[in-house]
Amino acid sequence: DVKTDENVTFEDLAISELTINSLKNSGFIKPSPIQLQALPLALVGVDLLIQAKSGTGKTLVFSITALEFVQIVDEDSTVIPTKVIMLAPTREIAQQIVQVIKTIKQPECIVHTFIGGTALKDDQNHLKKCHIAVGTPGRIEELLRLKYLRADTIRLLVLDEADVLLCKEFQDQINSIFSYMPLNKQVLLASATYPEYIVRFSERYMRDMTCIRIIDSDSPSLIGIQQYFILIPYHPIESYLFEQKVLLLLRLLPQLKFRQCVIFSNLRMRSSAVCERLKSLGYETTYTSSSLTQNRRTKAMRDMYKHKCQILVTTDLTSRGIDLDNVDFVISMDLPNDHETYLHRIGRAGRFGAYGCSLTIVSHGDEQKQLENIQNEYKLNLIEIDEQQKFQLL
Ligand code: ADP
Ligand code: MG
């Protein structure tokens, strides 16, 4: 039998039986293209950049690699050393990675989230028994500095959303984290894009980074996502303009068919107000932003993962990396400042090749121009609709 990429299963890769079975139990049978290309190298210890667009299954590449590390038994089995650190740019992504590992994990593997907004003392206790530490750079750096997290046992360091983690905002923390790491460790970077600064970083901190890139020849826009936009008249008073958008949203929502919907806006205060209005109209809606307490942030995401809520109103805190597999509609109340974030927003609909819709509400003038720029830059196919049209969205 000749094995083609189509009929390869996880069993054909050099993965332990234990992990294969856990993968099967959680419904993962066939590796996705990026998994198929990256796993064989990751599993033999090569330093990798894993680049593929959003929703293609990068999390499993580094999670499976980590699980295989945990299975290597140490001479001194009385202690449970932390062997893997995974870094993510937001607390929400860190928590999501932990959930993924927990669903495929073996009972012996202990994985925990280490993020800001929680008690350091609890972290210290958790670190006494933890194979895989997943967290945000600030907290992980702090734990290394306090020596709550021992660096000498680390064998694998993962940077998810590496293009974000390696930009200026996190630079000092990342440099500091690497300064604690032993020389002999594997580094995996997962990223949807391939900016030049990743190469510079790899020259400094990685051993001959191999790039596994799956790049579609056409635009990075996600094939299964229908993108619509709707224009409203411009008004110089911003709050008035936003109110017009909200009123439009409220008129449109009853016509839209979706399982779960994410509504983005640049401003926290506005998102929270939109959430309250939707709730008062009976929509099961939740809201998150970085200014909420960690408990409320965690609860908002949990309500979405568990389908207790149908609508999430949010800021760009959750425009990247978040995998809500029932989200099939994304609404943008405004345009994000950088163009790439538009792609990340709409990418929340249509994970792993699923179909979805996005609707962007823009006003005549500057916003309209900005949307045109995004459309041209990424060669997107956006369809204009108007309210009267009684459009039939998916
Ligand atoms: P990325 O990090 O590349 O944006 P994720 O790792 O979050 O994407 O995966 C996106 C979705 O695809 C998740 O819901 C995940 O469960 C699903 N998925 C990943 N790999 C597989 C697979 N081999 N078979 C089926 N579903 C998969
Ligand atoms: Mg991801």
Tell me how far the alpha carbon of residue 54 lies from the centroid of ligand 1, in angstroms: 9
List the structure tokens of 88: 């993510």
Nearest CA to ligand 1 atom 2: 58
Residues pairing with 332 in the sheet: 264, 360
List the structure tokens of 257: 């068919």
User: Average pLDDT in the 48-72 region?
Assistant: 92
- Which atom belonging to ligand 1 lies closest to the Cα atom of 56? 3
Is residue 387 very low, low, confident or very high in pLDDT (cuts 50, 70, 90)? confident
Judged against a pLDDT cut of 70, whether residue 40 lies above it is answered with yes
Judged against a pLDDT cut of 90, whether residue 352 lies above it is answered with no
Per-residue H/E/C for the chain:
CCCCHHHCCHHHCCCCHHHHHHHHHCCCCCCCHHHHHHHHHHHCCCCEEEEECCCCCHHHHHHHHHHHHHHCCCCCCCCECCCEEEECCCHHHHHHHHHHHHHHCCCCCCEEEECCCCCHHHHHHHCCECCEEEECHHHHHHHHHCCCCCCCCCCEEEECCHHHHCCHHHHHHHHHHHHHCCCCCEEEEEECCCCHHHHHHHHHHCCCCEEEEECCCCCCCCCCEEEEEEEECCCCCHHHHHHHHHHHHHHHHHHCCCCEEEEECCCHHHHHHHHHHHHHCCCCEEECCCCCCHHHHHHHHHHHHCCCCCEEEECHHHCCCCCCCCEEEEEECCCCCCHHHHHHHHCCCCHHHCCEEEEEEEECCHHHHHHHHHHHHHCCCEEEECHHHCCCCC
Is residue 222 very low, low, confident or very high in pLDDT (cuts 50, 70, 90)? low
pTM of the model: 0.87
Q: Give yes or no for a contact between 88 and 127, defined as CB atoms under 8 angstroms apart.
A: no
- Long-range contacts of the stretch 118-127 (C-beta < 8 A, 24+): 118/294, 120/146, 120/148, 123/148, 124/148, 127/82
pLDDT tens digits, 149-191 = 999 999 999 999 999 999 999 999 999 999 999 999 999 999 9
* Pocket around ligand 1 at a 6 A CB cut-off: 28, 30-32, 35, 52, 54-60, 323, 325, 351-352
Report pLDDT for 269.
84
Tell me how far the alpha carbon of residue 24 lies from the centroid of ligand 1, in angstroms: 14
Is residue 394 very low, low, confident or very high in pLDDT (cuts 50, 70, 90)? very low
Tell me how far the alpha carbon of residue 9 lies from the centroid of ligand 1, in angstroms: 15
Closest CA to 59 of 25, 89, 98: 98
- Which atom belonging to ligand 1 lies closest to the Cα atom of 54? 4
Tell me how far the alpha carbon of residue 112 lies from the centroid of ligand 2, in angstroms: 18
Spatial distance between the Cα atoms of 252 and 130, rounded to a whole number of angstroms: 48
Q: How many CB atoms lie within 10 A of CB 260?
A: 20
- Which atom belonging to ligand 1 lies closest to the Cα atom of 347? 4
Judged against a pLDDT cut of 50, whether residue 218 lies above it is answered with no
- Which atom belonging to ligand 1 lies closest to the Cα atom of 10? 23
Candidate from 60, 64, 98, 346 with most ligand 1 atoms within 8 A of CB, to mutate: 60
- Which atom belonging to ligand 1 lies closest to the Cα atom of 53? 3
Residues 6+ apart with CB under 8 A from 175: none
Mean pLDDT estimate for the chain: 90
Assembly ipTM? 0.99
List the structure tokens of 242: 């936003």
Candidate from 101, 158, 351 with most ligand 1 atoms within 8 A of CB, to mutate: 351
Report pLDDT for 349.
86
pLDDT tens digits, 82-131 = 999 999 999 999 999 999 999 987 778 999 999 999 999 999 999 999 99
Nearest CA to ligand 1 atom 25: 28
Give the Å distances, CA to CA, from 354 to 54, 56, 207, 350. Answer: 12, 11, 36, 4
Give the position of tokens 């020849």: 217
Nearest CA to ligand 1 atom 9: 57
Task: Give 56 or 355, the one with higher predicted confidence.
Answer: 56
